[in-house]
Amino acid sequence: MQALTAGDRAAVLAVANAYAPVDGPALAPLMRHMRVVQLRRGEPLLRAGDAPAIECFVLQGLLRTWVGDAQGRSVTLDFHQGPCALTPSVVRTAQGHSRVHCEAVGEARVVVFDAQSLVEHMPVFASVQCWGDAVLRAELMRRADREWALAALSAQERLLACRAAWPELESLVPHRHLASYLGITPVSLSRLRAKLR
């Protein structure tokens, strides 16, 4: 892990402000807890069971969050393409331990910090509190949209929606991960892609 550069600090502030207005002085004490992690393709950021809980900003690159199902298969829950904030730890953890795995799909630059430091800063800085609430609301809406799509849309409609959200995703991730995210088999994804060509 490395300390933040001036460019990293600016990037973190830009990502934070994409969710809700927060100024540099309010984030400055929190930035002292932040460290940069460079990830290579396939390298884990999180493993199920990891503790303590961390918060993350994806500055560059693409990450995949996943779990193992009852048969030991990898099930993709989400993709996180920088610049963005990773799903908040309160959603990813249970009793302080990660419930999910998260790995880099390619080269990635991520800023991490202890989730407890955010909890301690939120009551002190109103803009940090508002920012945290905005990130959580955005996550709730994203999850509600995904749940609705899995229940209400056809596999083809889900693929088209995924393409609209992440135009380059199909060229960046193994298709088995994309199929898993869409709730279909790799064979079904291959057929759908052929049909849509």
Asked if 33 and 91 sit in the same domain, the reply is yes
132-180 confidence digits (pLDDT tens): 999 999 999 999 999 999 999 999 999 999 999 999 999 999 999 999 9
CATH number for the domain spanning 91: value is 2.60.120.10
Asked if 121 and 163 sit in the same domain, the reply is no
Asked if 40 and 69 sit in the same domain, the reply is yes
Q: Which residue range is the domain that position 193 belongs to?
A: 153-197
Tell me the CA distances in angstroms from 25 to 5, 11, 13, 22, 29, one per residue in order.
16, 15, 10, 9, 8
Residue 78, pLDDT score: 95
36-77 confidence digits (pLDDT tens): 999 999 999 999 999 999 999 999 999 999 999 888 889 999
Asked if 41 and 12 sit in the same domain, the reply is yes
Asked if 177 and 127 sit in the same domain, the reply is no
Q: Please give the tally of structural domains in the chain.
A: 2
Asked if 145 and 161 sit in the same domain, the reply is no
Report percent pLDDT > 90 for the chain: 93
Whole-model pTM?
Answer: 0.91
Asked if 36 and 86 sit in the same domain, the reply is yes
Mean pLDDT of the chain: 94
Reported in sequence order, the residue ranges of 71-185 that DSSP labels E, i.e. its strands, are: 74-81, 84-85, 93-94, 97-98, 101-104, 108-114
Asked if 54 and 70 sit in the same domain, the reply is yes
Closest CA to 111 of 152, 189, 55, 64: 55
Asked if 87 and 133 sit in the same domain, the reply is yes
Residue 126 DSSP class: H
- Note whether residue 1 is domain-resident: no
